[in-house]
Structure formats: C-alpha cells, structure tokens
Amino acid sequence: MVISTIFRRVTRRSILVVVASTASCGLAGGEAVAQTAASPISGPAPEFNLSDIPLAEGERIISSSISGAIEFDGQSYQTVDPLSVPGLAGGDEHPPGFGAMGQSEGFYGNSCANGGCGQPGCRNARCGGIGGRHGGGPRSAVDFGGRPRLGAGGTVCGPTCNPYRYATVDALYMGNNELDNFGSPALFNLGDFDYELGIRATIGYVPDCRNGFEFTFTGPFQWTSQTSLLGADYFGGNLDSLLTTNANPPIPLDSFVDAESQFQRLESEYLSFEANKTLNGWEVVKLLYGVRYIQYEEDYIFGSTPNVGLPGLLRSTADSRLIGGQVGIDLTYPLTCRMWSDMRLRGGAFANFHENSFQLVNQQTTRIFNSDNDVRLAGMFEISGGLRYYVTNNFHIRGGGELWYLSRVGTALDQFNTSLSPRTGQVARAKDDILMYGASVGAEWKF
C-alpha cells in the first residue's frame, strides 16, 4: 500500500515537471526567435578556402592577381584587367580619350554609333585597332596603314560605314582561239594568234556600307595573223586555191589559179564597256547587275597575183555589237593577314546587232559585193581568279588567270564557203563561239 502511494506521487510529479519544461522551452524558443530577428549577426564571417571546392580528376585551381600572369604546364598566360576594357557606358573606368563603347574618340563618333554613315568621326578609324587615324593609340595586327581595309572603318565595336571610292587597273595578256577551227580558202593556213595586251579599268563609288555603282572598260585587243607565199619557192610557180563556183554562168576565178604569189590576213578586235549597280558585303563579296556593250569585229583578206593577168582579192568582214544586261559576283577569302584569294564571275544575255559584207575581185574587176545585217541572241561569260596582296589597307596588288567565252557572234570566215555564187554574203551569219584566255596583273586603290 505504501509502495503504491509512493509510485503515484512520483509519477504525478514527473508529469508536472515534463509539462512545465515543455512550456518553458516553448516560451524561451519564441523569445530567442524574436531576439534573433531584431538583432544583427555578430562575430567574424566564416572563412573560405579554395581547398574546400570539389574538383574532378585532373583538375587543379590556379590563382593570380589582376594584370598578372598565370603559369600553367610551363606556359605563361597573361590576364587582363577588366577595368581597362571599354564598357557599355562612359565613365572613369575607360582608358583616357575613350567614351562609351561605340563612341570612342577616333572610332565612330556619336552619329556613327547610332547607325549614321559617313560622319567625320568614322573616317578617322583604323580597322580593328585602338586609336584614330591620326591618333597615337596601338594598332591592330591587321592594320597596314591608311584608312580601314574594309573601306568602312571597323574597330573593337565592329565595322563602321565609311563612304569610299576605288580605282582598279589590270593589265591583261590574252589569246584568242578563233584560228583553231579556221577554214582557209587558200592551200595554206594561217598561224595562231599571238597573245595581245589590253587593260581592264574600273572606277566605283560606295556612298554607304552596302550600295554602290561602278564603270568598267576592257580592251582594246587586236589580234592579227598573216601569211604569204611565193609560188616559185614552194609550188614551182603554181599557186592555186580551194575556191570554186556553182553559178551559171560561172564566176571567173582565174586570178586565183596559177598564181606567182598569194597572201592572207585575219584581224580580230574586242572591247567592252560596263555600267553596274553593286551590292557590297564588306570586303568578302560584291554582287552586281547592270548593262554592257561588247564589240567584236573580224576582217579577212585573201589576195592572189597570177603569173598571167591581173590580181584578185577576196574580202569578208563581220561586226558584232552586243548590248544587254549582265549579273556578276566578286568573292574574296583571306589566306593570311595580307594575302587574299579572289574570284570574279560575269554572265549576261545580249542582243547581237550583227553586220557583214563580202567582196570578190577577179582580174581587178568586182564580181561579188554583198552585205547584210541581223539581230540575234548572244551570250558572254567570264571567270577569273587569283591572289591579291594588301600593301596597305587601301592598296593591294593582284595577279591571276582569265577565261572569257563569247557565244553566238559573227566571224569573217563564217560568212562564205569555198563554193561561190552571186548570192554569197547576202545572209548575215552569227553562230560562232569565241574563247579568250590569258593572265592579268593589276592593282586597286581605295580613297
């Protein structure tokens, strides 16, 4: 009985202690929370140790002071102070003489930074460098002097839109394959054309970053081949020809039979004018379209002096004047800082205003004299490629190869055949193709 009473009292007191402790803890906790919210954290901040960062296998941490150098695996890596790089807004953190990015002195000028073109501030820029055209700042590795290579500025902020003009002159050394399919009325042939010199001169203007226009002259080329023979030296005084007649009555051809001497000569001339609208993609691509005039002429003469009688002469001329439209593209690609490859493509469709004339003189008497003209469709295709070397940003020299194809034009030998009649030369023919090929060297100056 006594033991039971003691157990009940102990149990009752234990429960009261637990309840009182619980209440006391809850109150103290609330006071602690309130006190924490109202009072700042005091004491030292926890320390950070790089060794606490987990690293993957093979990784290691390298630290360096600002504007110092990092040594890693035997090589030195230079760090950059971020305060030395122009930011997006002006301030004391920029280098002396520089405002906000895109508005640095000597680079853009305010209007250029906002998209304006051709402002004085833009014209003072160097491509890819820091410092104006007349400034003393450091230059980029691709700054070769003069105005920017792109003809449009260009800095750490990107290219600007400088207006510019350019002049290009190429010396052309071209051949003509017209004599590869030569059908001579004489018993001897002409030799191949020699290579001839001509020029290709271009002047252009780009008033903004994109649109422009240019004018180009090509030529004049004059290819000539001629041959003469003495019958006493080669045929024992007997020089004949392949000429025959199918007319009734026959056309006399005795000046071309039993001749003591004969000669033949073929001249070919070419020139071209172009006026093009251009669309420029900086230095790497230029698209164009425009009008073009091409003139291609041939003049053939076959003369014969007989042993008995008076001389004879056969002459045929063909003039093709092409007027039409063309499209083209110029492409460049940098191989090194100064050396670039380039390619030039042109193609067009033209109306060929073709004229021809044919004349036959026998015993110094005109037997045939006819002419005609017609309009046909013709085409012209050009491809050239080579290398250019930038001496400065604004001046480069270049060299390469040229291949031109002139389609459906008139040639002198195509206006007649060896079987003659009074109607020979009365129909203008324009169906020959001419291939011209060679090399070019030249230079371009932007200003």
pTM for the model: 0.67
Averaged pLDDT, 271-276: 98
Asked if residue 114 is part of any domain, the answer here is yes
Which of 119, 83, 89 has the alpha carbon at shortest distance from 104? 89
Note whether 120 and 231 are same-domain residues: no
Query: How do residues 193-233 score in pLDDT, each as one tens digit?
Result: 999 999 999 999 999 878 999 999 999 999 999 999 888 77
Note whether 270 and 341 are same-domain residues: yes
- Polymer length in residues for the chain: 447
Residue 270 near residue 317, CB atoms below 8 Å: no
Note whether 310 and 407 are same-domain residues: yes
Query: How do residues 40-79 score in pLDDT, each as one tens digit?
Result: 555 666 666 766 777 777 677 766 555 567 777 777 777 7
Note whether 129 and 104 are same-domain residues: yes
| pLDDT recorded at residue 125 | 36
Note whether 219 and 278 are same-domain residues: yes
Asked if residue 14 is part of any domain, the answer here is no
**Measured distance CA(211)–CA(396) in Å, rounded:** 22
Name the more confident of 431 and 106: 431
The enclosing H or E element of 27 equals: helix 2-38
| Mean pLDDT taken over the chain | 77
Place of tokens 């003691």: 6
Note whether 441 and 299 are same-domain residues: yes
Asked if residue 352 is part of any domain, the answer here is yes
Q: Which of 162, 188, 215 is the last residue of a domain?
A: 162
Note whether 139 and 182 are same-domain residues: no
Asked if residue 8 is part of any domain, the answer here is no
Asked if residue 262 is part of any domain, the answer here is yes
Q: Is 214 exposed, middle or buried (0-12, 13-18, 19+ CB in 10 A)?
A: buried
**Measured distance CA(105)–CA(112) in Å, rounded:** 11
Note whether 341 and 365 are same-domain residues: yes
> What are residue 32's phi and psi, to 5 degrees?
-65, -45
Residue 230: which domain range?
164-446
The angle at the Cα of 204, spanning 438 to 221, to the nearest 5 degrees, equals 30
Q: Are strands 419-420 and 244-245 parallel, antiparallel or unpaired?
A: parallel
Averaged pLDDT, 236-258: 89
Query: How do residues 107-149 score in pLDDT, each as one tens digit?
Result: 333 333 333 333 343 333 333 333 333 344 444 434 555 555 4
Banded pLDDT at 6 (limits 50, 70, 90): very low
Q: Is 133 exposed, middle or buried (0-12, 13-18, 19+ CB in 10 A)?
A: middle
Asked if residue 353 is part of any domain, the answer here is yes
Note whether 220 and 304 are same-domain residues: yes
Residue 181: pLDDT above 90?
A: no
Percent of the chain with pLDDT over 90: 53
Q: Which two tokens stand for residue 412?
A: 């002198």
| pLDDT recorded at residue 16 | 42
Asked if residue 337 is part of any domain, the answer here is yes
Residue 442: pLDDT above 90?
A: yes
Total tally of structural domains belonging to the chain? 2
CATH number of the domain residue 374 falls in = 2.40.128.100
Note whether 131 and 229 are same-domain residues: no
Asked if residue 31 is part of any domain, the answer here is no
Half-sphere exposure of 89 (CA within 13 A, CB side): 1
Note whether 169 and 158 are same-domain residues: no
Note whether 98 and 184 are same-domain residues: no
Q: How far is CA 411 from CA 172, 193, 210, 319, 416, in A?
A: 23, 15, 41, 8, 10
Other C-beta atoms closer than 10 Å to the C-beta of 20 total 10
Q: Which of 144, 162, 180 is the last residue of a domain?
A: 162
Q: Which of 162, 195, 223 is the last residue of a domain?
A: 162
Q: Are strands 211-230 and 244-245 parallel, antiparallel or unpaired?
A: unpaired
Cis preceding-peptide flag for 249 (omega within 30 of 0): yes
